[in-house]
């Protein structure tokens, strides 16, 4: 199958942001639009409509977006010309979008714009109601599209209900389930690396790969999102989506094309092959943690309990060994970990290859022999390194390990701007290209796996293990990998 050309949405357009005054919109979404504006990538007739419940004068809303964009840009400064162009696109609607009156207000505001995009950055519990009122007001035209932010549901049952309710109003081809990790440059580079080179494919399996590690570490705490986070925890907030998407991209079979159906079909097969974590296995392969007070980002920070105001059973850290039961990956563990208040911000995929079967370098050389490793850094640096053994210059044959590096920083030049992942995804939405969006089946398979893990923890009835802020999680996270004779790659 050849890639489908992106289908352009009809003009004139409206991009309607529900939750338009929320944390995500201000921190990420509007700054992403600002950059697209600055690069002249937005159609002249596009308007951006923020919808939220708060009564807010349009000028006050525009001022808050400006402040958020400036905050995100620092230390760079705002380009006034680009900002002015963006500001003229901005509209604000104060409305309750689960009511008919709300939908009518929106309909009036975007009247004549035949291809609206409805972007839902609100609590997933509102998705069904909002879609139903949009449909009730006839806004789900054939050219319209709906975008769903993660998390879609809190478990398999709720995600199925949401997906079904959305599907009753918007066809799957016009439904974009966003996982912003798929918009990150290095995630797409992973596809280029795997499928643009012949070298890796023959080695990309259990015959040559010892294990894979994926870490998403954050230094921040839960911050302002406590109510949401306490209900979800690290497993539902990060593993169900971002981490499992990375697993799927690393582990999938080569798709026949970069078309959305081909890529999504391969990813879902990986998710279906994940070995379920039964209550008997959970204690060995999964660990939950919660931060206590400590030093993070060079400052003293409080515990999760203090932020929460009382003890909570929610995990802020999780480490889990995932096994993929298929021919390619049998016997190759995928170690996943993520957490808040860890020592550094780092998102890294490590593909650890096996050692050479026999060393010809004598006892000294054998000591220096280190198995090859492919390190894919998503953030803060965007970098891909393959460590290779090579000869130390000079007499004799002494070995040393050196990286072959594909550094994006070097390629782009120091100081080059890192794109916000949403920039790429917004353009794809406007062009109707769903390749970097998640299918309903993927979401539901991921929830099925997470539900069993959550159920195993619920049955065990154990609280998350404490870990000091600024550390790499509870001792159990180390035991989990060391039990297999391996270590986290630090």
- Where along the sequence are the contacts to ligand BG6 (CB under 6 A)? 218, 237, 347
Quick one: which of 183, 319, 329 has its CA closest to 239?
319
Cα Dmax for the chain: 82
Question: Catalytic site residue 242?
Answer: yes
| Cα angle 97, 102, 105; round to 5 | 135
Residue number, 55 or 224, with CB nearest to ligand BG6? 224
Structure tokens at 455: 């159920």
Residue number, 218 or 377, with CB nearest to ligand BG6? 218
Is 208 in a helix, a strand, or coil?
Answer: coil
CA atoms 150, 154, 159, 161: torsion sign: negative
Q: Tell me the three-class secondary structure of 96-125, residue by residue.
A: CCCCHHHHHHHHHHCCCCCEEEEEECCCHH
What are the distances in angstroms from CA 213 to CA 335, 365, 464, 465, 486?
5, 27, 22, 21, 11
Instruction: Give dist(CA 147, CA 121) in Å, integer.
Output: 9
By beta carbon distance, the residue nearest ligand BG6 is: 237
Residue number, 13 or 35, with CB nearest to ligand BG6? 35
- Cβ proximity of 117 and 428 under 8 Å: no
Instruction: Give dist(CA 443, CA 152) in Å, integer.
Output: 8
Residue number, 37 or 237, with CB nearest to ligand BG6? 237
State the minimum distance, in angstroms, from the CB of residue 188 to ligand BG6.
14
State the minimum distance, in angstroms, from the CB of residue 310 to ligand BG6.
21
- Cβ proximity of 247 and 322 under 8 Å: yes
State the minimum distance, in angstroms, from the CB of residue 218 to ligand BG6.
5
Residue number, 123 or 256, with CB nearest to ligand BG6? 123
State the minimum distance, in angstroms, from the CB of residue 339 to ligand BG6.
10
State the minimum distance, in angstroms, from the CB of residue 358 to ligand BG6.
41
Phi, psi of 243 (to 5 degrees): -65, -45
State the minimum distance, in angstroms, from the CB of residue 301 to ligand BG6.
16
Residue number, 147 or 209, with CB nearest to ligand BG6? 147
Instruction: Give dist(CA 338, CA 105) in Å, integer.
Output: 42
Catalytic residue among 180, 242, 308, 358: 242
Give the residues across from 386 on adjacent strands: 374, 404
Instruction: Give dist(CA 145, CA 115) in Å, integer.
Output: 8
Positions annotated as catalytic residues are 242
């Amino acid at each position: 199958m050849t890639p489908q050309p992106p289908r352009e949405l009809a003009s004139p357009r409206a991009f309607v942001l529900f939750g338009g005054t929320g944390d995500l919109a201000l921190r990420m979404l509007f700054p992403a639009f600002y950059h697209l504006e600055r690069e002249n990538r937005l159609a002249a007739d596009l308007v951006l409509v923020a919808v939220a419940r708060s009564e807010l004068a349009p000028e006050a809303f525009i001022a808050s977006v400006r402040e958020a964009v400036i905050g995100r840009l620092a230390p760079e400064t705002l380009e006034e010309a680009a900002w002015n162009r963006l500001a003229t696109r901005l509209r604000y609607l104060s409305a309750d979008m689960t009511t008919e009156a709300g939908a009518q207000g929106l309909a009036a505001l975007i009247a004549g714009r035949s291809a609206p995009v409805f972007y839902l950055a609100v609590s997933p519990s509102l998705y069904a109601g909002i879609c139903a009122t949009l449909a009730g007001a006839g806004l789900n035209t054939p050219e319209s599209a709906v975008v769903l932010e993660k998390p879609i549901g809190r478990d398999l049952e709720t995600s199925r209900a949401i997906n079904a309710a959305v599907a009753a109003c918007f066809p799957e081809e016009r439904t974009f389930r966003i996982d912003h990790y798929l918009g990150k440059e290095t995630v797409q580079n992973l596809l280029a690396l795997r499928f643009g080179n012949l070298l890796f494919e023959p080695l990309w399996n259990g015959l040559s790969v010892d294990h894979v590690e994926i870490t998403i570490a954050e230094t921040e705490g839960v911050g302002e999102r406590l109510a949401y986070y306490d209900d979800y925890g690290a497993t539902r907030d990060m593993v169900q989506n971002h981490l499992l998407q990375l697993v799927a991209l690393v582990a999938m079979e080569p798709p026949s094309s970069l078309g959305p159906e081909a890529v999504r079909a391969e990813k879902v097969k990986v998710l279906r092959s994940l070995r379920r974590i039964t209550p008997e296995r959970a204690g060995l392969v999964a660990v939950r943690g919660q931060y206590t007070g400590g030093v993070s980002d060079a400052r003293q920070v409080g515990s999760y309990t203090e932020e929460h105001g009382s003890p909570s059973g929610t995990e802020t850290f999780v480490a889990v060994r995932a096994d993929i039961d298929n021919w390619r990956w049998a016997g190759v563990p995928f170690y996943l970990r993520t957490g808040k208040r860890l020592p550094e911000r780092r998102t890294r995929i490590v593909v650890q290859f096996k050692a050479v079967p026999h060393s010809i370098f004598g006892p000294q050389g054998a000591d220096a022999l280190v198995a090859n490793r492919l390190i894919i850094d998503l953030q803060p640096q965007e970098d891909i390194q393959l460590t290779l053994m090579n000869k130390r210059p000079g007499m004799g044959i002494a070995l040393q390990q050196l990286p072959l590096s594909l550094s994006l920083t070097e390629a782009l030049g120091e100081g080059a701007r890192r794109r916000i992942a949403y920039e790429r995804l917004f353009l794809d939405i406007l062009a109707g290209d769903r390749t970097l969006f998640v299918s309903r089946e993927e979401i539901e398979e991921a929830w099925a796996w997470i539900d069993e893990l959550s159920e195993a923890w619920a049955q065990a009835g154990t609280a998350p293990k404490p870990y000091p802020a600024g550390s790499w999680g509870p001792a159990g996270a180390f035991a989990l990998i060391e039990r297999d004779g391996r270590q986290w790659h630090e």
